[in-house]
Amino acid sequence: MIIIKKVQSKLKPVVWILLFMAIGFNAFSQNNTYEIYALKFASLKFKFPVTFFAVGSTSKDSVQPCYIVYLLKGNNGKNILVDAGFTETPPIYNMEGFNYVRPDEMLKKINVDPASITDIILTHPHWDHIGGLDLFPNAMVWMQEQDFNYFVGTAWQNNIDSSGFNTKDVLKINKKKLDKKLQLVNGDSVEIMPGIRVFTGSKHTYESQYVLVDAGNDKVLIASDNSWLYYNLINLLPTPLTFDTNAYLQNLKRMRAMVKNVDLILPGHDPLVFSKFSKVIEDVVKIK
Ligand SMILES: [Zn+2]
């Protein structure tokens, strides 16, 4: 008995070390990766010339802009949205002009409970990207600090153009803040969650951000309105919707260098997203 006890006590540290190594190795080898889904919850009923959205373009083509939220389903249990869509338009627009299904209803169609959304990464606070915030009360919202400060402050001074913003959305983001559900991000190239890194610089809004996601074999970049259409990325033509046209152009180039091919960049309003990738149900595709 004494001998056995002695052996056991010698073994114990070895067993613990092996166990610790196994757990450590497992945690290290299990990357956080995400399945990515694009959900088209709205589209305009009319087509617009591509030249509207690309400075310097001579294209004769037209496009029917659509409105997208992205779902990132993590192998870590997270259900993350990139942008929240909208539930109503600001007074100068009209809901009649849109084909529309509320973003939370789109999620239910693919069996995702809106209450299970853990996080929302806001690329910028334009009405069509932030207005759906209150559909997801459990979600922590991630937004650039400078974009937030501009949106709730500077944008509402007398001489400032605030036409892309909805006053009601200021109340929604402030409610998130008071509920301690707002996480402000400070700057460029920040890994905000494992496998998800955000970048700034294109100045679509004061400090808009785009999102690089580890999708397993590939990195996928959700550009949102930091590239309105694939056309902007392919032709390296900025949209007029920016504080700084040159910065926007430089960031189109930068985005292209971050991924294997341009298809892996997902623009803000391009219906081509829904023909390039495999259909899950009507108006939902799985990226890769
Ligand atoms: Zn937009």
231-243 pLDDT per residue, tens: 999 999 998 888 8
Using the mean position of ligand 1's atoms as its centre, give its distance from the Cα of residue 228 in Å.
Answer: 8
Q: Does residue 90 share a domain with residue 132?
A: yes
Please write the tens of the pLDDT for every residue from 264-285.
999 999 999 999 999 999 999 9
| Dihedral sign from CA coordinates of 274, 73, 168, 101 | positive
Which residue range forms the structural domain that includes residue 53?
31-287
Using the mean position of ligand 1's atoms as its centre, give its distance from the Cα of residue 11 in Å.
Answer: 62
pTM of the model: 0.89
Alpha-carbon distance of 21 to 47, in angstroms, equals 59
Q: Is 37 helix (H, G, I), strand (E, B) or coil?
A: strand
Using the mean position of ligand 1's atoms as its centre, give its distance from the Cα of residue 83 in Å.
Answer: 10
Please write the tens of the pLDDT for every residue from 10-46.
556 656 555 555 555 444 446 899 999 999 999 999 9
Using the mean position of ligand 1's atoms as its centre, give its distance from the Cα of residue 226 in Å.
Answer: 9
Q: Does residue 20 share a domain with residue 142?
A: no
Using the mean position of ligand 1's atoms as its centre, give its distance from the Cα of residue 15 in Å.
Answer: 56
Alpha-carbon distance of 110 to 112, in angstroms, equals 6
Using the mean position of ligand 1's atoms as its centre, give its distance from the Cα of residue 124 in Å.
Answer: 8
Alpha-carbon distance of 214 to 18, in angstroms, equals 30
- Residue 53 structure tokens: 């959205």
Query: What CATH number is associated with residue 107?
Result: 3.60.15.10
Q: Does residue 264 share a domain with residue 247?
A: yes
Number of structural domains found in the chain: 2
Using the mean position of ligand 1's atoms as its centre, give its distance from the Cα of residue 22 in Å.
Answer: 46
Using the mean position of ligand 1's atoms as its centre, give its distance from the Cα of residue 30 in Å.
Answer: 34
Q: Does residue 205 share a domain with residue 247?
A: yes
Alpha-carbon distance of 142 to 124, in angstroms, equals 10
Q: Does residue 214 share a domain with residue 74?
A: yes
Q: Does residue 23 share a domain with residue 46?
A: no
Residue 132 exposed, middle or buried by CB count within 10 Å (0-12, 13-18, 19+): buried
Q: What is the mean pLDDT of residues 84-108?
A: 94
Q: Does residue 17 share a domain with residue 150?
A: no
The one-letter code for the residue type at 241 is: L
Residue 250 exposed, middle or buried by CB count within 10 Å (0-12, 13-18, 19+): middle
Q: Does residue 206 share a domain with residue 114?
A: yes
